[in-house]
Structure 1
Amino acid sequence: MKPTTLFRLLTSLIVLSNSPCLAEKKPNVLFISVDDLNDWAGYRGNSQVISPNMDRLAKSGTWFSKAYCQYPVCGPSRASVMSGLYYHQLGSPKLQADDQFVEDKVQSMGSELLHGYFRKHGYKTMAVGKILHKHLPEENLDLSGGRGKWNHNRDAKGKQVESNWKSNKTLTDWAYYEGKESQMSDSKAAKWAVERLGEKHDKPFMLMVGFLRPHTPWHVPKKYFDRYDREKISLPPYKKDDLEDVPVAGRETINDGYPRTEWAEQANQWQHIIQSYLASITFVDSKIGEVLDALEASPYRDNTIVVLWSDHGYHMGEKNTFQKHTLWERSASAPLIISLPASMNGEKYRGRTDGVVGLIDLYPTLVDLCGLPPNSKVVGRSLKPLILDRDAVWDYPALTYRKDGGKAIRNQRYRYIEYGDGSMELYDHEKDPNEWKNLATNPEYADVLKSMRAALAENHHD
């Protein structure tokens, strides 16, 4: 063998040995979902949010500044994440309530949910809390910790108590939680996950931990409220005439039964609501910290991929509402962090990337990072190139849908929304990050509108 050929061969082997996913043994996966968490966190630049554990995870990995859900409601979004398919490809309103339906439907299509695919390829699968809308069917789980309840305050007779808001259309409410923190569902989920990380596992594992907060009701112990001075809380951007150029179909995505910003202002409740949401974030952050601490103290520390994601964003007064469900940026944006371990040279792949990605990409990404054969049924794409090079050319949009025929596409600069009745919205995020100016009828943006409509049609999956 010629010296130059030998040198090239050795160089290639060195490069391969230092690449993620080619560790001596398969990496474990710690898969953390957080319910209804918008993009408020310290690592994202929101200095009033106390989130030290999410912040440290972001510092240890890649965090995606432009990650988007594929449906702005819990059940369909989670079904999309776990199946690697869009909600309309699964085709049923049962996505919001029936986890077994989701698994059966995916299997009927010749595929598996994410954890089932990993189990078929030699992984031990364990789950606690909310992963799909309720939990997960147990068919492909080796261990299940189940899922707890929402932890509403209750009176002496066990009846649910609403403190500030009563509606049969939402769990929305804000108040100190009056029970024991140790008995809250998220506390129990964290404890269960910590126990699993303290055990010996004889094969690689996927440990899924689903936390409920900051989903409503925003009832958490008083100590978390006390970390925020209500009078000093900054409010999000709000424009009273924001909706004047929004089509009727867009305004109709603002749900009845949820608080309105105009009411919150008049009732002097807006800062109280924000304080409750922030307290709920800090509460769940503490539970995330318990799990991360357990991983750090375990023998699995140097060979475990950690993923943290939320199913969608949340309006906290923007667009005159406090809810998810809409196709605007506040609902569609979702946190996503992927941290690689030492065995995959994770210290090289840390920081922010601005590539536009979808939560639907999580499935193929984890399959790729763990060196499993690709699942040809999923429609997302692996984010591994962006993890390896945060500035890589990444010219892909993200799509978000609603069951009423509404759909949206987001690229680096623009968000285009098309409703079932054909009405449209177009926003230039370079000039208008709050989406206050609908440009769909502006002739100066006719070419942009045409381009975004074409991109939506091109990227849509039937």
Structure 2
Amino acid sequence: MAKPDGDHATILKTENWRYAVQAYLASIAFADAQVGRLLDALDSSPHKDNTIVVLWGDHGWHLGEKHHWRKFALWEEATRAPLMIVAPGVTKPAVCRTPVDFMNIYPTLVDLCSLPAAKHCEGASLTPLLKDVDAAWERPAVTTHGRGNHAVRDPRWRYIRYEDGSEELYDHQQDPNEWKNLAGVEEHADVKRRLAKWLPTEEAPNAAFDQNLQEGGNQKAKKKSKQKAKGKAKQGQGKAKQAS
């Protein structure tokens, strides 16, 4: 999934690697400061003891690892994102190392608020982990990029299957940076089968998005055709003037 001839080649050519990392760190520092302002305001308000705080990011960020930049990948750097939950009367300061995914946020919130979860909800409440960071948790984290490309992550393994059927498998105990793809190693076939059971069996409909793309493409095509028509009209006027 890496594109060494894309962003990475541009970064190397322009010698901006150092500045790209610096800009990323500056962005993180700025966002952190804004979160601090928000939490300070909450702590000084009458709602601090009855407000659940959830902070998360929608993706990670590559800074040249695997010759890849930005997101748009299913590796650890792109899919590992912050998730922090503070629930008065439930949580205590702690770090949970269990991989979870963001489908669990909604069921967690309705659970903490003693509300019923929607029947179509596929996630599970994280409340057991909020109460005990070492609690048993059987669900791996599932991540999707585009259509047909999915990753499954448990505490030790990351399994990736792409739309074309190609696979990747990484052992985070031995290879936390995901350099060695073990998908073709027979002794790990059982690991692949176990994690593959969590892959989506059906792609969600995306009609609205596809329609917007199509409509956007049609509008661009119409705009181009109008521009061409105007250009031809101007050329015709120029020829008419020359003829007169």
- Bin the TM-score by the shorter chain: 0.7 to 0.9
What TM-score, normalized to structure 1?
0.42
User: Are residues 372 and 255 of structure 1, via their aligned partners in 2, closer, same or farther at CA, if it must alter by over 3 Å?
Assistant: farther
> What are the within-5 Å matches in structure 2 for residues 1-400 of structure 1?
250-251=1-2, 254=3, 259-260=7-8, 263-265=10-12, 267-341=14-88, 344=89, 346=91, 349-400=92-143
Structure 2, unaligned runs of 5 or more: 204-244
Alpha-carbon offset, residue 449 of structure 1: 2.5
User: Are residues 461 and 302 of structure 1, via their aligned partners in 2, closer, same or farther at CA, if it must alter by over 3 Å?
Assistant: farther
4+ aligned runs moved over 4 Å, structure 1: 459-462
Q: How many percent identity over aligned positions?
A: 46
Which amino acid is the alignment partner of residue 138 of structure 2? D
Query: What does residue 456 of structure 1 align with?
Result: 198
Tell me which protein shows more helix as a share of its residues: 2
Match of 1:413 among 122, 131, 156: 156
SS for the counterpart of 1:393 is coil
Alpha-carbon offset, residue 333 of structure 1: 1.1
User: Are residues 345 and 365 of structure 1, via their aligned partners in 2, closer, same or farther at CA, if it must alter by over 3 Å?
Assistant: closer
Structure 1, unaligned runs of 5 or more: 1-249
Which amino acid is the alignment partner of residue 407 of structure 1? H
CA distance in 1, matches of 2:165, 2:139: 24
Task: Tell me, yes or no, if the aligned pair for 2:90 and 2:130 is still in contact at 8 Å.
Answer: no
C-alpha root-mean-square deviation of aligned residues, in Å? 2.0
Match of 2:186 among 426, 443, 447: 443
CA distance in 2, matches of 1:309, 1:402: 18
Alpha-carbon offset, residue 399 of structure 1: 1.1
1:293-334 deviation per Cα after TM superposition (whole angstroms, max 9, x unaligned): 111111111211111001111111112121111111111111
Alpha-carbon offset, residue 366 of structure 1: 0.5
Q: In terms of Rg, which structure is larger?
A: 2
Match of 1:431 among 154, 159, 174: 174
Task: Tell me, yes or no, if the aligned pair for 1:305 and 1:339 is still in contact at 8 Å.
Answer: yes
CA distance in 1, matches of 2:31, 2:156: 32
Alpha-carbon offset, residue 443 of structure 1: 2.6
CA distance in 2, matches of 1:375, 1:255: 43
